[in-house]
Amino acid sequence: MASYYDEVSRTFNEYLLVPGYSSSACSPQAVDLATPLVRFARHQRPDISLNIPMTSAIMQSVSDDTMAIALAREGGISFIYSSQPIADEAAMIARVKDYKAGFVVSDSNLRPEDTLQSIMELIERSGHSTMPVTHDGSSTGELLGIVTSRDYRPSRTPLDTCASEFMTPRSMLIVAPKGTSLKEANDIIWDHKLNALPIVDENYHLVHIVFRKDYDSHKENPLENLDEAKRYRVGAGINTHDYEDRVGPLVEAGADVLCIDSSEGFSEWQARTLAWIRANYGESVKVGAGNIVDKEGFRFLADAGADFVKVGIGGGSICITREQKGIGRGQATSLIEVAAERNRYFAETGTYIPICSDGGIVYDHHLTLALAMGADFMMLGRYFARFDESPTNRFTINGNYVTEYWGEGSARARNWQRYAQDSSSKLSFEEGVDSYVPYAGPLKDNVALTLAKIRSTMCNCGALSIPEFQDKAKLTIVSSTSIVEGGAHDVMLKDQANVSQTNFR
How do strand 54-56 and strand 377-380 relate by DSSP bridges? parallel
- Identify the sign of the CA torsion 250, 410, 319, 449: positive
Closest residue by Cα to residue 143 from 156, 132, 131: 132
What DSSP string runs through 396-464?
EETTEEEEEEE-TTSTTTT-HHHH-SS--SS-SS-SB-EEEEE--B-HHHHHHHHHHHHHHHHHHTT-S
The CA distance from 436 to 427, in Å, is: 22
Cβ–Cβ under 8 Å, residues 242 and 269: no
The CA distance from 59 to 432, in Å, is: 12
At what angle are helices 268-281 and 295-304 packed, to 10 degrees?
30
Catalytic residue among 26, 319, 356, 461: 319
The CA distance from 359 to 382, in Å, is: 9
What DSSP string runs through 196-217?
EEEEE-TT-BEEEEEEHHHHHH
Give the residues across from 337 on adjacent strands.
Answer: none
Task: Give yes or no: 319 in active site.
Answer: yes
Give the residues across from 142 on adjacent strands.
Answer: 205
Is the backbone peptide bond immediately before 291 cis, with ω within 30 degrees of 0? Answer: yes
Catalytic residue among 231, 233, 246, 418: 418
Cβ–Cβ under 8 Å, residues 22 and 462: yes
Output Rg (C-alpha) for the chain, integer angstroms: 26
The type of residue at 106 is: S
- Fill in the DSSP letter of residue 178: T
The CA distance from 92 to 249, in Å, is: 12
Task: Give yes or no: 418 in active site.
Answer: yes
Cβ–Cβ under 8 Å, residues 222 and 245: no
Residues tagged active-site? 319, 418
